Amino acid sequence: MPPADVTVVTLKTERVALQTELPGRTTASLTSEVRPQITGILKARLFTEGAKVKAGQPLYQIEQAQYRAAVDSAAADLESAKAQVEAARVKSERFAGLLKIEGVSKQEADDARFALAQAQAAVAQRTAALEMAHINLGYTQIIAPISGTIGKSSITAGALVTAGQPAALATIRSLDPIFVDLTESSEQRLRLRQQVGAGALQAGSTAVKLVLPDGTIYPHDGKLEFAEVAVDESTGTVTQRATFPNPDDTLLPGMYVRARLEEAVDQNAILAPQQGIGHDAKGNATAMVVTPAGTVEARTLVATRTIGDRWLIDSGLKDGDKLIVEGLNKVGPGMPVHATEASAAGTGSAAGTGSAAAGSAGAGSAK
């Protein structure tokens, strides 16, 4: 029989960014639960629920009367203590002069000097008490500790609030920028680190793109900040954190999203059209190539992921191999063939995202 006609694609190495798509949750970059630091009756709420607030902005007003009275009382105590200091100083100085002419005993002079020191210490105590009274008076106005968006208020005017109460009055969240916590398999992360360390791959960039729950691409790119130094024992995953600008509050805390990031770059990748890759009965990836002698040779491959409409080949094919993409049903190993190069339009493109979900390590690989 004459040689069968087949269509082939000559494989060439090319630069490919190995991207992965990871699940994640959004979380506020800053979160603050607003609580009172003193006990009193809430007089007024000074903010609009759901509005943006600035750090230092008044949020609640607590009745001030008893705390103003405490300030006045502490101030009066301080003045009394200062007067006692003056009396003790005059007495101490007088006894010191009398001691020189033996008008008083040394014990009496010492007692006068010690009384002065005690009076001065009392002034220091009263000064601290006055300062604390002023601090408590300041606490009657509850202010925003951070800038951000404030949620609903859990309390209304007229209610009693207490220092250290477990329930927060409101919660402020800073949403610009916003964090996205991503989870990645520890095995996948370890494998990539080993390949980068061995020089087979180059480290990727820290830029991250976000896919929203409705499938649209978030218009602002994020940046990968860091990865946890421990593996979650219950899931076997490593958490990575990315930061995204969020000027319009499109992202809200708790949203489920998917992030696309470039983990590594393969400078000598082999990409094979999917129509040229098959699978044997054991699930191993296989391919047929045309040898320089014009005969068919079967190959067993390791193909770990797809990139666009092509398989990324880890082993089994090399630069210059002529992969059969059409006419596979007419040929077998060792048969002579007449090979025709496929047009560029039919070979596929390297554009697109290769994700671990689209081409997992075990889906189309032979180990």
CATH number (domain holding residue 74) = 1.10.287.470
Query: Are both 279 and 337 inside the same structural domain?
Result: yes
Query: Are both 130 and 148 inside the same structural domain?
Result: no
Q: Is residue 172 part of a domain?
A: no
Q: What pLDDT is recorded for position 349? A: 38
Query: Are both 16 and 100 inside the same structural domain?
Result: no
28 strand-pairing partners: 178
What's the CA gap between 307 and 327, in Å, rounded? Answer: 24
pTM: 0.68
Q: Which domain holds residue 22?
A: 4-26+177-365
Query: Are both 195 and 319 inside the same structural domain?
Result: yes
Query: Are both 52 and 120 inside the same structural domain?
Result: no
Query: Are both 217 and 233 inside the same structural domain?
Result: yes
Query: Are both 237 and 315 inside the same structural domain?
Result: yes
Give the tens place of pLDDT for each residue, 253-301. 999 999 888 777 777 888 889 888 888 888 888 888 999 988 989 988 8
The two beta strands, 237-244 and 170-185, are antiparallel
Query: Are both 55 and 69 inside the same structural domain?
Result: no
More confident residue, 233 or 331: 331
Using the predicted structure, report yes or no on whether residue 109 has a pLDDT greater than 80: yes
Please give the single-letter amino acid code of residue 134: H
Using the predicted structure, report yes or no on whether residue 323 has a pLDDT greater than 80: yes
Q: Which of 167, 185, 220 is the last residue of a domain?
A: 167
Q: Is residue 32 part of a domain?
A: no
Residue 47 DSSP code: S
Q: Are 4 and 330 in contact (CB under 8 A)?
A: yes
How far does Cα 235 stand from its chain's mean position? Answer: 19
What average pLDDT does range 104-117 have in this prediction? 85
**Range with lowest mean pLDDT among 134-148, 159-173, 233-247, 257-271:** 257-271
- Give the CATH number of the domain where residue 42 resides: 2.40.50.100
Q: What pLDDT is recorded for position 360? A: 36
Q: What pLDDT is recorded for position 196? A: 61
Query: Are both 116 and 146 inside the same structural domain?
Result: no
Residue 7 structure tokens: 């269509």
Query: Are both 216 and 305 inside the same structural domain?
Result: yes
Q: What pLDDT is recorded for position 204? A: 56
Q: Is residue 33 part of a domain?
A: no
Please give the single-letter amino acid code of residue 188: Q
Q: Is residue 97 part of a domain?
A: yes
Query: Are both 215 and 98 inside the same structural domain?
Result: no
Q: Are 213 and 292 in contact (CB under 8 A)?
A: no
Query: pLDDT confidence of 159, banded at 50, 70, 90?
Result: very high
Query: Are both 43 and 11 inside the same structural domain?
Result: no
Q: Are 54 and 147 in contact (CB under 8 A)?
A: yes
- How much is the mean pLDDT over the chain? 84
- Give the CATH number of the domain where residue 315 resides: 2.40.30.170
Q: Are 251 and 175 in contact (CB under 8 A)?
A: yes
**Range with lowest mean pLDDT among 36-45, 139-148, 164-173, 185-194:** 185-194
Share above pLDDT 90 across residues of the chain, in percent, rounded to a whole number: 38
Give the tens place of pLDDT for each residue, 27-75. 999 999 999 999 999 999 999 999 999 999 999 999 999 999 999 999 9
